Amino acid sequence: MAVQGILTVIKFVVIAIAILVLGLITSWIDRKVTARIQARVGPPWFQPIADILKLLGKETLVPEGAGRNVFLYAPVIGLAGMALAAALLGNALISPEVGFVGDVVVLVYLLVIPAIALIIGASASGNPMAAVGASREMKLILGYELPYLIVIATVIYKTGFTLKLGDIVETQALDGWNLWSISGVIGFFILLLSAQAKLGLVPFDIPEADQELMGGVITEYSGPPLALIRITKTMLLAVLPLLMVTLLMGGVQFEGLSILWGFLKYLVIVVLIVLIRNTNPRVRIDQALKFFWGPVTALSIIAFILAYWGL
Amino acid sequence: MSLTRWALKKSPWVYHVALSPCNNCDIEILDLLTPRFDVERFGIKLVGSPRHADALLVSGSVNRHVLPRFIELYKQTAKPCVVFGIGSCALSMTMFRDSYNTVGPLDKVVKEIDPNAIIAYVPGCPPKPEAMILGVVKALQTL
Ligand code: SF4
């Protein structure tokens, strides 16, 4: 029993590291595609790794008047939540049978932890820019979380009330992808937009707003804590498209060539995210909130009703 | 060469500090960051907060008014960092050298704050973006 437990822990760690590597590759793809869109050459392949290594080697500064412990532990908590979410999702993809009922719900909770940890850390830093960033991040979470949850509920409904990631994948293997229906297509776009907001990429990079808030929530972070935040963001960049592949596009199979097919599905979503990021200006926080609570939530409710009608 | 040193050379994030320049140097620095020169090839990225910076691009002759701000800014930057004096003003104060409000060339000022600081110069009035890229690359090679 104990050996089993240790093996599971090792497996989870390995999966989390694998997802981090996938995230590093994705973040290079993101920067390279961005560069090509702007007719540039773009960074070399090791750029995301170099960024993180460099930050790990730098000095950690704690601003005067900051809550020292909260400020320094917030990124660790964020990374812990993120790593657990990554391990849970990866585990469900590699061996669909071992999950537990309700792991979708746990995953949804875990995915909010990095954002909340950032809010706590930013509030503890005692910087007005970070405070504004934290308040914006909070509003943004309230905005995107609602349609996101409704879409996930739609997917759960469509697969016959399965609350297990592995079962969602298996149901799709039998009945075809969730994407191939009107409600699936609507859900896909809503998940895409929410992923954009969760990642803090351009139309919704309001909390970090480089031009007005100088990095917003991460203004005061330097050195290793900033590296942890980067790692968390990198993993999120891999986990969100993977979650979309799992929920709507039949997951990733790990036998032979089908792993390439799985990677292709993943890549399509990543490139879509990058394209949205490069072709849109940033919106204001009130516009973002109106957008998510107005049309997007309405669409997600319509998707749910369509799913109820079997469309 | 340690791994973090290698990483520092491959990903210098820059923060733009304008210490009372005439604005031409700043325009050239912003030019440098446009897609045309594509400094992301070398991992150079403009960041909004000195806490994230590895290199401070300083333009202009340091005067009494901005000195306290600059000292604070330098202390806020996570070490190791490199200070770049961009343009002749930072280098030799050019025509402002006898001005009543100029406190001194950049290296003197920085050495007063931190004797071990790494300082590099890119001369020109204003220097071309190509010259700045050359300066950054050369300075990083000596690290
Ligand atoms: S070096 Fe020349 S261009 Fe640059 S700030 Fe001084 S006067 Fe202006």
pLDDT digits (tens, 9 = 90+) for A94-150: 877 777 777 888 888 898 998 899 888 888 887 888 888 888 888 888 888 889 999
Average pLDDT over residues A201-208: 74
* 8 Å CB contact between B86 and B61: no
Span B73-98, pLDDT tens digits: 888 888 888 888 888 888 887 788 88
Q: Does the structure show a pLDDT above 70 at A210?
A: no
Q: Does the structure show a pLDDT above 80 at A250?
A: no
Per-residue model confidence (pLDDT) at position A259: 81
Parse chain A into domains and list their residue ranges: 2-308
* 8 Å CB contact between A215 and A129: yes
Distance CA A57, CA A79 (A): 18
For ligand 1, atom 6, the nearest C-alpha belongs to: B89
Average pLDDT of chain B to the nearest whole number:
84
Element (H, E) at B102: strand B102-104
How much distance in Å is there from the Cα of B46 to the middle of ligand 1?
A: 21
Q: Are strands B55-59 and B13-18 parallel, antiparallel or unpaired?
A: parallel
Average pLDDT over residues B38-67: 85
Chain A neighbors of B6, CB-CB under 8 A? 50, 53
Q: Is B125 in the pocket of ligand 1 (CB under 6 A)?
A: yes
CA distance A33 to chain B (A): 13
Average pLDDT of chain A to the nearest whole number:
85
Q: Does the structure show a pLDDT above 80 at A209?
A: no
What residues of chain B have any CB closer than 8 angstroms to a CB in chain A? 2-8, 10-11, 35, 38, 40-41, 43, 47-49, 51-52, 54, 76, 78-80
* 8 Å CB contact between A92 and A103: yes
Domains of chain B: residue spans and CATH: 3-141 (3.40.50.12280)
Q: Is B87 in the pocket of ligand 1 (CB under 6 A)?
A: yes
In the Cβ-directed half-sphere of A152, how many Cα atoms lie within 13 Å?
Answer: 23
Per-residue model confidence (pLDDT) at position A77: 92
CA distance B92 to chain A (A): 31
Interface test with A, best of B3, B52, B79, B81 (most A CBs within 10 A): B52
Span A150-203, pLDDT tens digits: 988 888 888 877 788 777 777 777 777 777 788 888 888 898 888 888 887 777
Q: Does the structure show a pLDDT above 80 at B35?
A: yes
Span A269-295, pLDDT tens digits: 998 998 888 888 888 888 888 888 889
Inter-chain residue contact A54 with B47, CB threshold 8 Å: no
For ligand 1, atom 5, the nearest C-alpha belongs to: B21
Per-residue model confidence (pLDDT) at position A76: 92
How much distance in Å is there from the Cα of B94 to the middle of ligand 1?
A: 8
